[in-house]
Amino acid sequence: MKEPRGTDEIFARIARRYDRINRILSFGRERHWRRRAIRHLPDGVVLDLGSGTGDAAGQLAPRRVVAVDPVVEMLALSDIGERVAAVGEALPFGEDTFDGVFSAYVVRNLSSIPDTLAEIHRVLRPEGVAAIVDLGRPPNRWLAMVHRMGSAITLPLIGAIFARSPGEYWYLHKSLDALPPPEELYADGPLVVERVWRMGLFGFVYGVVLRKPVG
Domains in the chain, CATH or no CATH each: 29-136+179-211 (3.40.50.150)
pLDDT at 167 over 80: no
pLDDT average, residue stretch 6-34: 66
Query: Has this prediction a pTM greater than 0.85?
Result: no
Strands (E), the chain: 45-49, 64-69, 82-85, 98-104, 124-135, 192-199, 205-211
Helix ranges (DSSP H) in 128-177? 141-158, 166-175
Nearest-CA neighbor of 104 among 73, 72, 60? 60
Using DSSP, state whether 35 is helix, strand or coil: helix
Instruction: List pLDDT tens digits, range 30-85.
Output: 889 999 999 999 999 999 999 999 999 999 999 999 999 998 998 999 999 999 99
Task: Judge contact between 118 and 124, C-beta under 8 A.
Answer: no
